[in-house]
Amino acid sequence: MNKKKALVLYGSPHENGHTKKALLTVTKPLESYYTFELVDSFKENIHPCTDCRFCTNKGQCKFRDFDHIDALFRSCELIILATPVYNLSFPAPLKAIIDRTQLYFNMKTKLKINPFSQKKEAILIATYGSQDKSCEELIFKQIHPFFKLLNATVIKSVFISDTDLL
């Protein structure tokens, strides 16, 4: 059987922390159906978007450090975003990657080019230390525009709370 391509966008600095454990519970049952490409945001060191508007004319970013992630975004059929919650949001290295997709927003709105005409699926995984359930709604709301831009429908979300107690 031909396996589908899944991109794992990983937001934790920890190799074996709470987020990785939650991620493995999701990816293990999918191993027969998908190949996984991992983008480890803390190792990537992606430059933040500077809103320089280069992409509004050129349809590409002036910083070349995103090219391999761009290729993975375009080719994957499933995006799994797995992250810890930092200050009710995303860790900065993951946020930098999310912000760099402004390239696609500008391509779509200014250049009328949509690289994501094919539908994708998405899985959202987030872990957080507190019992504050509002984290879940906030994370969902913040990630919604990103998934929408990539034409990805969230088919599953996994939230693990109270990790400070574990």
Ligand X SMILES: Cc1cc2nc3c(=O)[nH]c(=O)nc-3n(C[C@H](O)[C@H](O)[C@H](O)COP(=O)(O)O)c2cc1C
The answer to whether 115 contacts ligand X (rule: CB under 6 A) is: no
Positive or negative torsion for Cα 39, 81, 7, 58: negative
Please identify the residue of the shown chain whose CB is closest to the bound ligand X.
17
Question: For ligand X, which is the closer residue by CB, 17 or 59?
Answer: 17
The one-letter amino acid at 68: H
The answer to whether 18 contacts ligand X (rule: CB under 6 A) is: yes
- Cβ 98 to ligand X, closest distance in Å? 17
The answer to whether 11 and 90 have CB atoms below 8 angstroms apart is yes
What six digits make up the tokens of 55? 């992409």
For the residues of 10-49, what is the DSSP string, one character each?
A: E--S-TTSHHHHHHHHHHGGGTTTEEEEEEEHHHH-PPPP
The answer to whether 41 contacts ligand X (rule: CB under 6 A) is: no
Q: Judging by beta carbons within 10 Å of its beta carbon (0-12, 13-18, 19+), is residue 155 exposed, middle or buried?
A: exposed
The answer to whether 130 contacts ligand X (rule: CB under 6 A) is: yes
Q: Which stretch binds ligand X (CB under 6 A): 39-47, 58-66, 112-120, 121-129?
A: 121-129
Q: Which stretch binds ligand X (CB under 6 A): 37-45, 54-62, 63-71, 130-138?
A: 130-138
Q: x/- site string to ligand X, residues 51 to 90, per CB under 6 A?
A: ---------------------------------xxxxx--
What six digits make up the tokens of 143? 């990630």
What residues make contact with ligand X under the rule CB under 6 A? 12, 14, 17-19, 84-88, 127-130, 132, 135, 163-164
